[in-house]
Chains A and B, each alone.
Chain A
């Protein structure tokens, strides 16, 4: 069995001359819950669609369960549950008809579990998809993906439209799934608190690049923000690598650095700041820092 259920190699995608993905490299190991974060139009949906073969890449490769994405066979797809963004499904079908279609086309189907989900979410079988609220479509979409007992779940903004209770139900379902052998989940979300609860690895897409790709528990240790006061004006160049953000105003500098380590600490110390405070960062703070365009600004005196 492959160790990595999802592999992306140097993925590049251009849309109408605009670069949306600029050389993405990603490996998601089996058993992992991977949270993919990024602002709107950062390329999360594009990347997920390329993974599933719905969109061709401009350059580079993507692999799901060892198979190249543009050549996914029905058999491989049968092991993957997919929730596409927007929860469109097939608008003019009735829920019951759509369910039957999925059931008939799926390679395996857990009727009992599906019935349990339908009940839990109170989904009406005889209404048209277009008449359901987006939250209910999200719940239906998720139920259809889970009913096939998937080895790999790929979810694009699965909780869009869901209320708080439904979102918690989704998280619980995700945890239930992951506790079974060899299951993997990749999901993109805007709700950082949800991601922080359930993900073990996290990726942040910004500017077409994967600016962060690490274990969640390491993230807060790796990205550090400092407020530094220098005896005279702050130095223009600290000779530090991987600066995410830097703002200078007179003697004060606020700097955010990735992959903080002892060498960087030593480097910083050589500039002898008179005062150095670490500013605590929540996941939201980290996300905002990482998705700002990289700036090194110097305010006038």
Chain B
């Protein structure tokens, strides 16, 4: 399994680098914005405001990664070759998904840590309810993962453009939905259901196609 994951990462290094760079930029923005404001701004509103760029990165980058992983597999017949080795299709798919999750974590984990550090530094006057950052991180993760799963689902076709566009369009529908509904429990449940549905469908497709 480790070998498979390593292989996926090596093949899609560009996305990981992009994720790291995006995170770095966002952290710099976040830190500089928070530290330069006088008086300290209304954190919740501001935090939401900064989440938009993150979401943009996620909206473009993650479905693209999902699509890329599936498309290059189909195009270069990688699973066809791996199937000749002692590896099952489930293992290949799990390794792929784990790689996606790792990429998401590379974006979100540093941001979450930075946010927590900033909150601890700037407390007390800022009214942040405890767990806001945790809540935001979890929701952000679910959004990111949902976008990624969309990429995986649509990527297993022969064309490159259609799935990417499809994924982007669907994500653009998803985002206003989130903004309208806020970060509550409802949105998490919707996202989790969506993730489960798309993963199950992806697994079905991947398992049953001819390689």
Contacts and interface: CB of A to CB of B under 8 A. Distances in A.
B84 to A, nearest CB: 4
Given A74-B91, A90-B78, A84 B84 contact: yes
Contacts of B129: none
A167 interface: no
Interface stretch (A52-60, A220-228, A264-272): A52-60
A249 interface: no
Majority-rule SS of A interface residues: loop
Nearest to B90: A74
Interface residues of A, number: 25
Contact of B85 (A77, A91, A92): A77
Contacts of B80: 54, 84, 88
Given A90-B78, A91-B76, A74 B87 contact: yes
A143 to B, nearest CB: 14
Contacts of B86: 74-75, 77-78, 105-107
Contacts of A112: none
B81 interface: yes
Contacts of A49: 210
A90 B76 contact: yes
A104 B83 CA distance: 14
B181 interface: no
Given A54-B80, A55-B210, A90-B76, A104 B87 contact: no
Contact of A54 (B3, B4, B210): B210
B82 to A, nearest CB: 8
B208 interface: yes
Contacts of B210: 49, 54-56
B85 A73 contact: no
A54 B80 CA distance: 7
A102 interface: yes
B77 interface: yes
B7 A52 contact: no
A101 B210 CA distance: 23
B76 A101 contact: no
B85 A105 contact: yes
Interface of B: 3-4, 7, 76-78, 80-88, 91, 208, 210-211
Interface of A: 49, 52-56, 72-75, 77-78, 82, 84, 88-92, 101-102, 104-107
29 contacts: A52-B83, A52-B84, A53-B83, A54-B80, A54-B83, A54-B211, A55-B211, A56-B208, A72-B88, A73-B88, A74-B86, A74-B87, A75-B86, A77-B83, A82-B84, A84-B80, A84-B81, A88-B80, A88-B81, A89-B81, A90-B76, A90-B77, A90-B78, A102-B85, A105-B3, A105-B86, A105-B87, A106-B85, A106-B86
Given A53-B83, A74-B87, 18 more contacts: A52-B83, A54-B210, A56-B210, A74-B86, A77-B85, A82-B84, A84-B80, A84-B84, A90-B78, A90-B81, A92-B76, A102-B85, A104-B3, A105-B82, A105-B86, A105-B87, A106-B86, A107-B86
